[in-house]
C-alpha cells in the first residue's frame, strides 16, 4: 500500500521542522493578539461556491467534493479564509463589535498536478484580521508576513502589491479588457481563451509570454479606480514606506479568488522556479456579508508550508530530540523497579527510553549508544539485591554503581536535567 498521489507522510524527523514553524508563528502572532482558530476540514460545498466564485479554477477543477450519507454536498476545504468567515458568522462573533484577529495552521485539499512544494493535501499558515476597513489593518498583516519570514530565516523575497479596486470598478474594467482582448483572441493561450468571458481578470496572471505581451499594451485596472480606492492604496504604501518594508507595485497582480477587493499582495521568493509565490493575500470586505453575515471588512494572507519548507529547510538548525537516559533492564524484578526510576525521571523532566526487549545487557548498551543517549541506567539482579543502580556514561565509557536515592544527585553532577 502506498499513499495517494499528491499526499505524503510526515515522519518524525520532518515533523520537527513543522513544529519549528508553528512555534515561531505562535510566538510572533501572539504578540499582536492573533489567536489560533481551528475549523473543520469538511464544509458545505456551497460555502466555497458562494465565497470563492464559480468561475475560479478551484471551483471548476480542483475541489474534492462528495455526497455524504445524508446526500449533503460536502467539500474538503481548499483554502482557509471562507471557513473562518463561516465560523465568524455561525458563532456570532460579530456580536462583540470588536476586531477579531485569527491565525491558523491547517491542511487544505486541491486536485492539482503534484510537484515540488505543491501537494494535493497541502498545508497553510494564515492570518485573518476581521472588522476593520482602515488601511492600517492591511499594513499590519503585510508587516506580520514580512516579519515572520525574516524570523524563519527566509530573506530572499519580494513583496508585490496592487489595488484591484471594488467590484463596480472591476466590472467596468472587465468590459474594457474584454473589448481589447477580443481582437487578439486567436493569439491568446488556450487557458486565457477560456477565461475571456468567464474570468478575464485571471488572464492578467498568465505566464504565457505571448499573452503577457498582449496584456502589457492593454488597459490597466489602475486607470479605472475611483478616489476612495486610490486613497486607500496610497495610505497602505505610505505606511509601508515608513516601516521601511520594501515592496513593488505590480498593476497586473490579481488574486485567484473572487472575494478580494482593494489591496492584493503576494510575496515571491527568488530561490525557486515557476512556483515562487510563498504568501498571498489581500482585503475581502464583502465575503462575510455574501455568506449571510453582517457587513464586515477583513484582510488576511496565507503561506504555503510545503513551499516555504523547500526554501528554508537547509537554513534551519534543529537538533533531533534524543533520549538523555537509556534504561537497560533484565529480569522481572528489574522491570517492576524500572517504573520507580521512570517516575523519578518524569518528575525531573528528563527524556528517556526504556528498553523493551529481553536481550543481553551487551546488546542493550549497544542500542543505548545508537539512541544518542548520554547515560545508560543498568538495572539487573545485582542491582535489585543491593538496592543500587549502575550508571554507564556512554560517551566516556565510565561506569559506576550508586545507591538508588542518589540517582538525581548523580545525574545533576553529570549536568543532566
β-pairing, 375-379 with 100-109? Answer: unpaired
Strand, helix or coil for residue 264: strand
**Cα dihedral value 239, 243, 247, 250, nearest 10:** -10
Q: Reduce the DSSP state of residue 141 to 3 states and report it.
A: helix
Is beta strand 261-269 parallel, antiparallel or unpaired with respect to 398-403? unpaired
Angle at 139 between CA 304 and CA 33, to 5 degrees: 75
Q: Please identify which residue in the block is written with the cell numbers 478551484.
A: 58
Residue 195, annotated as binding a ligand: no
Q: How far apart are CA 265 and CA 243, in angstroms?
A: 17
- The answer to whether 259 is a known ligand-binding residue is yes
Q: Is 296 annotated as a binding residue?
A: no
> Angle 135-151/227-242 helices, nearest 10 degrees?
40
Length of the chain: 417
Question: C-alpha distances in angstroms, 344 versus 331, 340, 348, 350, 386?
Answer: 20, 6, 6, 9, 19
Residue 22 marked in a binding site: no
Is 124 annotated as contributing to ligand binding?
Answer: yes
80 annotated to bind ligand: yes
According to DSSP, the β-strands at 325-329 and 352-354 are parallel
Tell me whether residue 34 is annotated as binding.
no
Which residue's entry shows cell 521601511? 244
Order across the sheet with 261-269: list the strands: 35-36, 100-109, 121-130, 298-304, 277-283, 261-269, 157-163, 248-249
Query: Binding site for L-histidine: what residues are annotated?
Result: 79-81, 110, 124, 128, 255, 259-260
Question: What are the binding residues?
Answer: 79-81, 110, 124, 128, 255, 259-260
Amino acid at each position: 500500500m502506498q499513499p495517494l498521489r499528491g499526499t505524503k507522510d510526515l515522519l518524525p524527523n520532518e515533523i520537527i521542522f513543522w513544529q519549528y514553524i508553528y512555534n515561531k508563528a505562535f510566538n510572533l502572532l501572539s504578540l499582536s493578539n492573533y489567536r489560533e482558530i481551528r475549523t473543520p476540514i469538511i464544509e458545505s460545498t456551497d460555502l466555497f461556491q458562494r465565497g470563492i466564485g464559480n468561475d475560479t479554477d478551484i471551483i471548476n477543477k480542483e475541489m474534492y467534493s462528495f455526497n455524504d450519507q445524508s446526500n449533503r454536498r460536502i467539500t474538503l476545504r481548499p483554502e482557509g479564509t471562507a471557513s473562518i468567515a463561516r465560523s465568524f458568522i455561525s458563532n456570532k462573533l460579530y456580536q462583540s463589535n470588536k476586531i477579531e484577529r485569527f491565525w491558523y495552521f491547517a491542511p487544505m485539499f486541491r486536485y492539482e498536478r503534484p510537484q515540488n512544494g505543491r501537494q494535493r493535501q497541502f498545508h497553510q499558515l494564515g492570518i485573518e484580521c476581521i472588522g476593520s476597513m482602515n488601511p492600517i489593518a492591511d499594513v499590519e498583516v503585510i508587516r506580520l508576513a514580512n516579519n515572520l519570514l525574516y524570523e524563519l530565516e527566509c530573506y530572499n523575497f519580494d513583496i508585490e502589491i496592487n489595488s484591484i479596486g471594488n467590484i463596480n470598478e472591476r466590472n467596468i474594467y472587465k468590459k474594457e479588457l474584454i473589448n481589447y482582448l477580443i481582437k487578439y483572441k486567436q493569439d491568446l493561450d488556450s487557458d486565457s481563451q477560456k477565461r475571456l468571458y468567464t474570468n478575464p481578470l485571471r488572464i492578467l496572471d498568465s505566464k504565457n509570454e505571448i499573452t503577457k505581451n498582449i496584456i502589457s499594451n492593454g488597459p490597466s485596472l489602475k486607470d479605472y479606480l475611483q478616489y476612495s480606492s486610490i486613497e486607500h492604496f496610497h495610505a497602505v504604501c505610505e505606511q509601508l514606506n515608513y516601516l521601511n518594508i520594501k515592496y513593488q507595485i505590480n498593476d497586473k497582480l490579481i488574486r485567484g479568488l473572487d472575494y478580494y477587493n482593494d489591496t492584493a499582495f503576494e510575496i515571491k521568493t527568488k530561490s525557486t522556479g515557476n512556483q515562487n509565490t510563498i504568501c498571498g493575500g489581500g482585503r475581502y470586505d464583502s465575503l462575510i456579508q455574501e455568506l449571510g453575515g453582517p457587513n464586515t471588512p477583513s484582510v488576511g494572507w496565507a503561506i504555503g508550508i510545503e513551499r516555504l519548507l523547500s526554501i528554508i529547510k537547509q537554513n534551519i538548525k534543529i537538533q533531533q530530540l534524543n533520549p538523555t537516559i537509556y534504561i537497560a533492564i533484565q529480569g522481572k524484578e528489574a522491570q517492576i523497579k524500572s517504573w520507580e526510576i521512570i517516575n523519578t525521571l518524569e518528575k525531573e523532566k528528563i527524556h528517556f527510553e526504556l528498553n523493551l526487549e529481553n536481550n543481553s545487557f551487551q546488546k542493550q548498551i549497544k542500542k543505548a549508544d545508537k539512541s544518542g543517549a548520554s547515560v545508560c541506567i543498568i538495572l539487573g539482579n545485582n542491582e535489585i539485591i543491593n538496592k543500587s543502580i549502575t550508571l554507564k556514561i556512554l560517551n566516556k565509557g565510565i561506569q559506576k554503581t550508586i545507591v538508588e536515592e542518589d540517582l538525581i544527585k548523580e545525574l545533576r553532577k553529570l549536568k543532566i536535567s
